[in-house]
Amino acid sequence: MIKRNFLAAVIFLFVALNTEAQKMKKVVTQLEQQTQVMLAQIADRRAASGNMSLVSPRTLENGELKLVPAKDWTSGFFPGQLWLLYELTNKSVWKIQAEAFTKNIESQQYDLTTHDLGFKIYCSVGTGYQLTKDETYKRVIIQAAKTLAKRFNVVTGTIRSWDNTRRWTYPTIIDNMMNLELLFEATKLSGDSSFYKIAVIHANTTMKNHFRKDFSSYHVVDYDTINAGIVLKKTTHQGYADESAWARGQAWALYGFTLCYRETKDPAYLKQAENVAGYILNNPNLAADLVPYWDFNAPSIPDEPRDVSAAAIIASALYELSLYSGNKKIYLAKAGRMMSSITNHYRASVGEAKGFLLLHSTGSKPANSEVDVPLSYADYYYLEALVRSKRIKEKRSIF
């Protein structure tokens, strides 16, 4: 009887795993088909505009595909998406497309005007480098880190975000945590520890000044550039209010401190990531399907727009955090539920939305900009989360 029950359990597990694998294979096929739609839409849009400097999709604007030049902060996500599809399928067609779209972004390694070089360069060139070890990509990553490092201020202890603002003196946004990955990688590739040191100082300063007692994060912290350690004000730009918790900001914080732990093994970063995860996952305003409203303190919940991009970022971060934390089972379960919700209820049908993968993200609700629309970075982090989930199930490293 015991042997019979054991055999039945093994058969049940085999069937369940096989069924899950078949479902995922079908989803990936649909993602490929949808990306082919996007490629055709990009070609059509570029031809219609006559503007060949428009290189990457960002969103839908009045129902039409909005393309952006390489200088836009979102330009690296679609090339990264193509690289992730290549990893998921091992099909050369995606590698060829990824190489072509990545080449459009390489010039940004010299862009001194932005803090978003991590998004632009690391999500495209960096993702490509992880899969190919291309020496050209290596050189681009190192140069981009050199460029980004020039925005670091030793007095504030942070990398400057926006330039030429009237509202802030020296703004640093929580999003900047994502760009530290570029600096960490550059140290590994070049042997130059200055990039690593800048990343650590920025992370420590952010951990000190960006968080409330409940471990929710402010969006913008404004620093005095003359008197070290002085914070002028703490505000928002894309959240509901200065003291609210903008959902994507919390996602950036979770992802950022998780990657900082990966690169440094500093337990303070692990604890910070766990605390941010606790704030998100235990928040009474987190929707039942685990796809956040655009701000955890938005006044009209549940009648507020969702932000699927925040959910995708959080899920991807939780998959990684599960590798380091004693809360592994909780994080894997929550990430799985988020991804199930996104896949089953927030994904575009093949041929819909001009080829974007996901629907219902929110860029900036206060500015009434990109509200309840597809966004390229939602698609990128969704695919990254799929890759991480797959690797974890196959007991492979996610890096």
Strand partners, 293: 306
Model pLDDT, residue 16: 53
Say whether 44 is catalytic. Answer: no
> How is 361-388 classified by DSSP, letter by letter?
EEEETTTTEEEEE-BHHHHHHHHHHHHH
**What order of strands is seen across the sheet that includes strand 231-235?**
171-173, 220-223, 231-235
Model pLDDT, residue 68: 98
Query: Which residues does the chain have with pLDDT short of 70?
Result: 1-18
Model pLDDT, residue 108: 98
Say whether 175 is catalytic. Answer: yes
Model pLDDT, residue 5: 66
Q: Which of 116, 222, 295, 307 is catalytic?
A: 116
Domain boundaries, the chain: 2-393
Model pLDDT, residue 3: 61
Is-contact 383 67, C-beta < 8 A?
no
Model pLDDT, residue 21: 84
End-to-end CA distance of the chain: 44
Q: Which of 72, 175, 295, 307 is catalytic?
A: 175
- Would you state the structure tokens that stand for residue 179, as one six-digit string? 């760009």
Strand partners, 65: 60
How far CA 136 is from CA of 133, 142, 233, 328, 368, in Å, comes to 9, 10, 42, 37, 40
pLDDT tens string 306-316: 999 999 999 99
pLDDT tens string 187-218: 999 999 999 999 999 999 999 999 999 999 99
For domain 2-393, the question of CATH label 1.10.10.10 is answered with no
Average per-residue pLDDT for the chain: 95
